[in-house]
Amino acid sequence: MPEHGAPLIAIIAAGMVLAFAFGLLAHRIRVSPLIGYLLAGILVGPFTPGFVADQALADQLAEIGVILLLFATGLHFSLADLISVKNTALPGALAQLTISTLLGMALAWCFGWNVGAGLVFGLALACASTVVLTRSLQEHRLIESDRGRIAVGWVIVQDLVMVVALVLIPTLGTSADGPTSWAQLSTTLGITIAKVAAFVAIMLVGGRRIIPLILHYAAHTGSRELFRLAVYAIALGVAYGAASLFGVSFAIGAFFAGMVLAESPLSQRATEEALPLRDAFAVLFFISVGMLFNPAVLIDRPWAVIATLAVIVGGNSFAAFAAIRLLGQSRPTALTVAASLGQIGEFSFILAGFGVGLGLLPPDGRDLILAGSILSILLNPFLFAVVERGQVRVLPRPGPMARTPAGPMPDKATVAAPPRASRVVPTESVAVTTLTAHDVLVGYGRVGSLLGRRLLSEGRPVLVLEEREAAVAAARKDGAEVVVGNAADPEVLAAANLPAARHLFVTIPEAFEAGQVIQQARAAHPDLSIVARAHRDAEVDHLTRLGADLTVMGEREIAQRMIEHAQRRSERD
């Protein structure tokens, strides 16, 4: 079999092919693609017949996924963001970790395990997977919302606590060495905290200057390849350096690397370069988790699995919900953060492996942690959907994703249609606008806002379809009516009342989504005037073919203005 000769290629190939197949299937039946990736992992794992991939390799590939994911998360997160959530995320996460760990310890006590085993088990059940959390927030387009920032700040605090816990656990005393002295314990703890603090200080003082400089330099070479390479080198280099020099996890190292870059003007380009590789490796993360799952535990110890799952999903979420509410945050924020924390992942596996290796945790414990993790990751998209649906219900009419007149900006998640991939339950319909003879603008960014302001100044009724919070707020401020959501979503588009509209301006830069909007609009309204934006000749063809009356290519217009200017100048001279 070729896989013996090339296990790395075998796992990447088999994993990607199966993840793609199951991801498609999951999309088709409208559940999160994560579920498809996990199933792919179970299939290539050792507990199901057929091809078995190399777990050790899968784990390392997964680590790369963790690094790239956290790097990209850091790119969305500035230091100011981290500081802005410190009053919620820091006390909240510490309170939740304490409550959840105690719940896990209580369960361990019921299983007849000792305190050491209970502590490892409890901590493992308390700590959410950063990968799953950031992935879910992305899927729901919440990563840049306030509640998204609290959730990310929360797992960063959890991760930092885990870094310290991983150092402390060996000192709990194994059967061979007996308990470690307090002096030893405090020295080890002191060194760990000093190392973490040194890393953070170096990143915030030196890294903040040097890293953007490196990227800037790479950008100035004019080589896209070198720029891309610089992004990966920074992400992986800092993560690896942080882990080997300072004992900080890969995840934290990469997060800080991304965060110091977020302040650079090149961060947007860096994000674009990091995304494709991040997505590919994040898939490998879920495959490697799936591979660990032994379905036999479900049959052998069903009640223990259910109790473990209850602590993870119920305990963590409830503790987080209560903590956030006590800290004065709104109910929707508390619900979203709570839902995002109702699962466990990478750190729990590390803790479990560590605990078993030290003889602290019975091997049973690891099986339960794995089963709990995989089931909680499977359940998480549903938990999110229930929470979003709950929020939909508490909103006053005319509906959650409804057209909202100019006024204070509601939290995006309460009004935005969840993306199709995450829509496991049907959402309530969006109220259709009452405007007539209006102009519909898809997107209110650089292009849409210029257009919108012009139309509004002429006294035209304008309806904007937007999904980004800041752009929604800007459109409302300018006096437009806004439907929040993805315009390619048939429900959102229907809310624009296209039969009564004068023009449809599709100002979004992404031709694939623009094409979906135009195709739907044209199919339903053969006479509507549709104007679209493009950046390439092929896009002009594509959008025109799908039904745009006029497709304006930005680059062509820029060239035109430049030529006009040059001609005028020559005529004058």
Binding site for ligand AMP (CB under 6 A): 442-448, 465-468, 471, 486-488, 507-510, 513
| Phi, then psi, of 503 in degrees rounded to 5 | -135, 155
Q: Which one, 3 or 513, has the nearer CB to ligand AMP?
A: 513
CA distances, 536 to each of 171, 298, 311, 443, 561 (Å): 61, 53, 52, 19, 17
Cα(40)–Cα(18) distance, integer angstroms: 5
CB of 78 to ligand AMP, least distance (A): 19
Tokens 């493992």 belong to residue: 124
CA torsion sign for 304, 305, 306, 307 is: positive
Q: Which tokens hold the place of 228?
A: 């891309």
Closest CB to ligand AMP belongs to which residue? 445
CB of 488 to ligand AMP, least distance (A): 5
* Per-state percent for the chain, helix, strand, coil, to nearest 5: 70, 5, 25
Q: How far is it between the farthest Cα atoms of the chain?
A: 93
SS3 179: coil
CB of 509 to ligand AMP, least distance (A): 4
The answer to whether 18 and 40 have CB atoms below 8 angstroms apart is yes
Q: Which one, 446 or 477, has the nearer CB to ligand AMP?
A: 446
CA dihedral 465, 471, 473, 474 (to 10 degrees): -110
- Report DSSP state, residue 480: -
Q: Which one, 145 or 249, has the nearer CB to ligand AMP?
A: 145
Cα(534)–Cα(127) distance, integer angstroms: 45
Neighbouring-strand partners of residue 482 = 404, 464
Q: Which one, 331 or 556, has the nearer CB to ligand AMP?
A: 556
CB of 357 to ligand AMP, least distance (A): 47
SS3 180: coil
CB of 227 to ligand AMP, least distance (A): 21
Q: Which one, 399 or 445, has the nearer CB to ligand AMP?
A: 445
Q: Which one, 41 or 148, has the nearer CB to ligand AMP?
A: 148
Nearest to 259 by CA among 127, 384, 128, 85: 85
CB of 471 to ligand AMP, least distance (A): 4
Cα(456)–Cα(459) distance, integer angstroms: 5
Q: Which one, 170 or 445, has the nearer CB to ligand AMP?
A: 445
Q: Which one, 9 or 450, has the nearer CB to ligand AMP?
A: 450
Q: Which tokens hold the place of 466?
A: 């937007």
CB of 558 to ligand AMP, least distance (A): 14
Q: Which one, 62 or 463, has the nearer CB to ligand AMP?
A: 463
CB of 40 to ligand AMP, least distance (A): 29
Exposed (0-12), middle (13-18) or buried (19+): which is 502, by Cβ within 10 Å? middle
Q: Which one, 424 or 487, has the nearer CB to ligand AMP?
A: 487
Number of neighbouring beta carbons within 10 Å of residue 78:
17
CB of 465 to ligand AMP, least distance (A): 5
Q: Which helix (H) or strand (E) holds 520?
A: helix 511-524
